[in-house]
């Protein structure tokens, strides 16, 4: 590559990272937490911490436990659905609408069908996970488009980063933490980027493939051009398995769901159902949708059976094929919903490595320009520094504030889930304001804040539920014990970072102090 081309590529790499670094950190961080979103749910919803044997034991009759509750809670003619228990989520998850049309979620004890009151939080699966891929911005699919732009930026940054580093392999084996901050952060940036390069590339590419109907609608529009304005509906019906029929407008009955589940499992050669949905509940044209689990394979399959609610006869069967099958494989590779704990921890490590790669790149940019005369005083520099601080340490502090709000808010308070999310964004805004006010001192102060919040979350979980780390380990509650362990590790790492930053600040001010004493 010519010097001019390398210089242009370097400028692209630098400014794409600086402009989108904060968004990328948010996406990577929330994606990393989402690897263990259901385990965090167990920590945040103590009512759902059922014994591990509940998920592995044969389930009681769906007709006798879940069905009476769903028929009592869901109004006539509406839709209700149930996600069946699994090793990671040992409860039935019932979703339905109330008389006012508001969507509700309830957890049921698989042994009795009893509603587990108090689990009103959205948890990590309801907050962190959607924040990862749509930023909770639904209007005009704005969140999807921002995340898509960030995904494309990751691909550009990875490719350009490889091209501009002439000594990439040699630098991979070099790490000099004792050197000046710009050199040390560049070493960390190179190491974290190269070490997990295939993972980062796969995650970015598969993330774009998952939402291809939004980013590349021409893909299905060309294939279903014969359907005209109904191209989207034809694609979703034939490729994605969406089948429906209108309500009849007169009362109907519901046959045994247990029998439908057994028939579905037989049709899938023993594949376990995991999802049941009843549409037009109580109507004569009501039908039941049952989906096969993907906990045992990488691909998030689209094996679906539709049954007539009254007779229990199969109305429609679907299985993804061709290009959609490839897309579903990439979806499963990205979301890792299959049960493989070793790989799940590698995903978590890879996600953290991505956060380190982005944050260290931004730090290198800041420190390199801080040493240039006049740059550190510029408003643009100060804005990037504040955004970088808030997007790294500030984001971690806001996440911990979300967990603290979950433990502090009364279980019966109205709008508890909304208040938890508001606590996250309020804490994040506070960290941004603090970073803008304190400049480079904010790094150490926010690290100390992280340590305090993490220890507070562990303590409040113990006080509120009686489940300290030793008790969780003794009860084989791996999810709760794992979250507490990571919180303690976060507190330890943040305390160490605050100490190191404090010592660095003392060394930085020492020459000035000696000069003043001599004078």
pLDDT of residue 516: 44
- pTM of the predicted structure, to 2 decimals: 0.92
Give 421-485 as a DSSP string.
HHHHHHHHHHHHHHHHHHTTHHHHHHHHHHHHHHHHHHHHHHHHHS--HHHHHHTT-HHHHHHHH
pLDDT of residue 172: 58
Beta sheet of 287-292, edge-to-edge order: 103-108, 92-97, 80-83, 273-279, 287-292, 304-308, 314-318
| Measured distance CA(196)–CA(161) in Å, rounded | 13
Quickly count: other Cβ atoms within 10 Å of residue 253's Cβ: 10
pLDDT of residue 515: 44
Sign of the CA dihedral 341, 347, 353, 356?
negative
pLDDT of residue 229: 84
pLDDT of residue 179: 53
Please list the rounded mean pLDDT of every run of 10 residues in the chain (519 residues).
77 88 96 97 93 81 96 95 94 92 92 86 95 94 96 93 72 55 75 89 95 91 87 92 95 97 96 96 97 94 97 96 92 94 96 95 87 66 92 98 95 89 98 94 96 97 90 82 96 95 79 44
pLDDT of residue 453: 98
């Amino acid at each position: 590559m010519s010097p001019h081309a390398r210089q242009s590529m370097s400028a692209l790499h630098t400014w794409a990272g600086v402009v989108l670094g904060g968004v990328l950190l948010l996406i990577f961080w929330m994606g990393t937490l989402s690897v263990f979103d259901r385990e965090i749910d167990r920590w945040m919803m103590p009512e759902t911490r059922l014994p591990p044997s509940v998920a592995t034991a044969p389930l009681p009759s769906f007709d006798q436990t879940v069905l009476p509750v769903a028929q009592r809670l869901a109004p006539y003619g509406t839709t209700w659905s149930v996600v069946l228990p699994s090793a990671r989520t040992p409860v039935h998850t019932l979703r339905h609408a109330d008389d006012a049309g508001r969507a509700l979620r309830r957890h049921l004890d698989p042994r009795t069908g009893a509603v587990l009151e108090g689990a009103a939080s959205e948890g990590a699966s309801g907050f962190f996970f959607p924040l990862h891929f749509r930023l909770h911005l639904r209007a005009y699919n704005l969140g999807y488009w921002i995340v898509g732009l960030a995904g494309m930026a990751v691909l550009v940054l990875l490719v350009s980063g490889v091209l501009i580093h002439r000594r990439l392999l040699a630098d991979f084996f070099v790490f000099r933490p004792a050197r000046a901050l710009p050199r040390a952060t560049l070493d960390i940036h190179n190491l974290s980027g190269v070490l997990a390069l295939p993972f980062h590339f796969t995650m970015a590419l598969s993330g774009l493939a998952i939402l291809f109907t939004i980013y590349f609608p021409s893909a299905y529009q060309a294939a279903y051009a014969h359907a005209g304005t109904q191209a989207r509906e034809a694609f979703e019906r034939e490729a994605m398995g969406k089948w429906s029929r209108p309500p009849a407008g007169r009362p109907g009955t519901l046959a045994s769901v247990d029998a439908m589940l057994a028939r579905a499992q037989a049709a899938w050669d023993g594949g376990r159902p995991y999802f049941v949905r009843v549409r037009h509940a109580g109507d004569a044209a009501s039908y039941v949708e049952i989906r096969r689990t993907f906990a045992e394979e990488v691909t998030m399959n689209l094996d679906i059976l539709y049954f007539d609610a009254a007779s229990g006869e199969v109305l429609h069967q679907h299985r993804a094929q061709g290009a959609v099958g490839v897309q579903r494989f990439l979806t499963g590779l990205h979301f890792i919903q299959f049960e493989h704990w070793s790989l799940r921890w590698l995903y978590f490590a890879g996600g953290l490595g991505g956060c380190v790669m982005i944050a260290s790149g931004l730090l290198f940019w800041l420190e390199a320009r801080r040493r240039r005369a006049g740059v550190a005083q510029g408003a643009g520099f100060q804005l990037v520094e504040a955004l970088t601080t808030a997007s790294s340490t500030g984001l971690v502090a806001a996440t911990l504030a979300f967990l603290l709000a979950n433990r502090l808010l009364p279980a019966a308070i109205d709008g508890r889930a909304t208040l938890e999310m508001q606590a996250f964004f309020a804490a994040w805004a506070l960290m941004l304001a603090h970073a803008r006010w304190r400049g480079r001192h904010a790094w150490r102060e926010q690290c100390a804040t992280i340590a305090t919040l993490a220890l507070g979350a562990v303590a409040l979980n113990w006080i509120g539920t009686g489940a300290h780390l030793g008790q969780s380990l003794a009860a084989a509650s791996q999810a709760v014990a794992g979250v507490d362990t990571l919180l303690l590790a976060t507190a330890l790492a943040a305390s160490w970072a605050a100490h190191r930053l404090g010592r660095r600040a003392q060394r930085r001010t020492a020459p000035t102090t000696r000069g003043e004493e001599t004078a």
